[in-house]
Amino acid sequence: MMLPILALLVASSVAVPPGPPGHPGPPGNGTVKPTPFGFFTNNTIYQPVRNESVTYPRFVELDDGTTLATTSFSGHTPSYFPVFESKDGGATWKYISNLTDQVNGWGMTAQPALAVLHEPMGGYEAGTILGSGNSWSNNGTRIDLYASRDRARTWEFVSHIAEGGRPNTTNGATPIWEPYLLQYEGELIAYYSDQRDPKHGQKLAHQTSSDLKHWGPVVNDVAYDEYLARPGMTVVDYIPTIDKWILVHELPVGNSSSHGVNYPVYYVLADSPKDFRLNEGQPIVINNTTAPNASPYVVWTPYGGPNGTIVVSDADRSQVYTNRFGGAVDKWEEHGTPAGATYSRAIQISRKKPNRLIIYGGETFDNMRLGLLTPFTYTAVKLSETLKTPV
């Protein structure tokens, strides 16, 4: 969890939901109209107004190619996650719902997560959309699970996954942060950052459920012996060419830095998405000089060679970081993109177009309170072009 947390504790008297985006920006980069499932830059999903700000974008792609996207959305009380839909690969978008807090009275404050059930679970059919996020107040932090049976038009509360102390990133405080959802072998895995363990300033952990309502014990994924180490912001993907799972996270350790960054990005490979604790993480470093910084996101695509390509994004740069050698520690490259930096920027590979890399944009962490009204955007680039020239 990046500091300072007060930058995320936003409040406002405005209580009007965004509704369908009424303030669209220029299509694409202002000169090229987005075409269905094409390539374009910074197409606007939603244009903030007044004191709104969008950060921490998240998405899910449905089996029919429909994309749902949401974001941490400041400027409203109680807070909520607006949900948008595109049926044409990000060329056009419409607002469809708000994912709201239905049980705590605290709002859905930050760090949304979306997933889709690919097989029935807990009385919910395949195709059910799952939504989560961090609901918090001065009384505590709660990671809650919601479900939609109608393609994200309406939402129902399912369960409390985990609960911690009030939002506070000081070591010794006990909040939880940053959920990530994955359905795997008849269970839903809920990953999150956890400050509740007195042995660790922060660690990465998960819990599992087979019915979406009852959750098993906390299992460590990444926990360092050094108390000051604060791994955060789990994102996971599968690499079928090597039959491994990859977890990326940031790793601030006190006030130290690595290769010029204060939140160096690490990755862990494992045989199972429940067994990351059995393996040691490695930093992503390019030519022993450059490293991504903070709130990473990872995807894998079969495009790029026999091993496909691992693609990692960070919060501070427009670049992406790639590995076409199954995660070999000395084979990372840095490549430029036309998309801007965004706090906890998400990236996506089109399921049916593995050469199509999608980058979701919004506000940076440092600028989110400056009233810049940076739009929620969607950029699609050809990975083949991106890979041609390392930075």
Report which of residues 81 and 18 the model is more confident about.
81
Q: For residue 391, what pLDDT is reported?
A: 87
- Of 329, 351, 112, 145, nearest to 237 by C-alpha is 351
Domain ranges of the chain: 5-386
The owner of tokens 């998960």 is 206
Give the chain's end-to-end CA distance (angstroms, integer).
28
pLDDT tens profile 249-277: 999 976 567 777 999 999 999 999 999 99
pLDDT band with cut points at 50, 70 and 90 for residue 14: very low
| 17 has a pLDDT exceeding 60 | no
pTM of the model: 0.93
Q: Is pLDDT of 45 > 80?
A: yes
Q: State mean pLDDT over 374-380.
A: 98
The pLDDT of residue 390? 87
Q: Which pLDDT does position 299 carry in this prediction?
A: 98
Question: For residue 20, how far is the Cα from the chain centroid?
Answer: 23
**Bridge partners, residue 266, by sequence:** 249, 283
Task: Say what percent of the chain tops pLDDT 70.
Answer: 91
Q: Which two tokens stand for residue 164?
A: 């911690």
Pick the CATH number of 5-386 from 2.120.10.10, 3.40.50.2300, 2.40.110.10, 2.30.30.230: 2.120.10.10
The phi-psi region of residue 44 (left if phi > 0; otherwise alpha if psi is between -120 and 50; otherwise beta) is beta
